[in-house]
Amino acid sequence: MRRKRVYIYDRDFFTPGWEDVITDISEHKPSSVNFIHSVHFYKLSDFFKARENEIISKSNDAFLDINIPLKDTDYMMHHYKNKLLELISPTSAVYLSIGGSYYYQIEYYKNFIYKMNLLYSLWSNRIPIRLKYEEPTLGCFDPLKDLSRLVAQWSSSPLRKSQTIYERMPKNTKVESIQAAKEQARILVEKFPQQQILFMQTTASLSKMGRWIK
């Protein structure tokens, strides 16, 4: 008898108790457990366990929403770098989310700055994770929409190794979107002058550093 797949709709499945649910599902011996939507991991330990579980499909986009303080990234790399390198490849669908839904516009700026710094911390340790833009829900307005989309495209481009965000403008991006992205970047740097450095990095330069100095 052919075993059936199980599909889970929950966007926030990987919260406390998810392992018990998987154990219950496993008793019915499905061929795999799949997700209708992208999955979000709020702890590295949950990401590791899910990736090691043979019954859980790896086909969905996975977002690491770990929210680790930037000052603790060195500790994270010391303990988990090898595991992250094992589970994240240049073609794996594992991302840091950018964009999303916030009620206050300042939160979009803070999230952008945090995710870019976290991305560079991972890149400086040669972990090839990428960014992916998440659309805001109804009622939320992202003031960095064009910039975040452009940066997400850049993070998936092989040319990020030698070209900065400003140097690598995706050919399939509309001119007006590029102009809007540049204006949004200008406003961000105007509000947070020290973040100008975020727009001056490449994968190659970060790899040489060995660590990203926040």
**How far is the C-alpha of 161 from the C-alpha of 158, rounded, in Å?**
6
CA distance 171 to 112: 23
Task: List the helix and strand counts (H, then E) for the chain.
Answer: 7, 6
**Residue 71 falls within a domain, yes or no?**
yes
Work out whether strand 32-35 and strand 5-8 pair parallel, antiparallel, or are unpaired. parallel
179 found inside a domain:
yes
- Residues in CB range of 35: below 8 A, 6 or more apart: 7, 8, 9, 10, 13, 57, 60
Kindly state whether residue 48 falls inside one of the protein's structural domains: no
Q: What is the pLDDT of residue 34?
A: 92
Has residue 43 been placed in a domain? Answer: no
The Cα 1–Cα 73 span in angstroms is 48
pLDDT value, residue 91:
85
Residue 83 identity:
K
CB 33 within 8 A of CB 57: yes
Amino acid in the structure at residue 163: Q
User: How many domains are there within the chain?
Assistant: 1
Cα dihedral 141→147→153→155 (10° resolution): -110
Residue 173, pLDDT score: 63
Within a domain: 33? no
pLDDT of residue 201: 85
Question: In which domain, by residue range, is 203 found?
Answer: 61-209
pLDDT tens for the chain, 214 residues long, are 467 899 999 989 999 999 999 999 999 889 999 999 999 999 999 999 999 999 999 888 999 998 899 989 999 999 999 999 999 988 889 999 999 999 899 999 999 999 999 999 999 999 999 999 999 988 899 999 999 999 998 888 776 667 777 776 655 566 678 889 889 999 999 999 999 999 888 888 887 777 787 6
Residue 205, pLDDT score: 81
Q: Which helix (H) or strand (E) holds 157?
A: none
Q: Does residue 42 belong to any structural domain of this protein?
A: no
Domain assignment present for 101: yes
Question: Are 170 and 150 a contacting pair, CB within 8 Å?
Answer: yes
Asked if the structure places residue 22 within a domain, the reply is: no
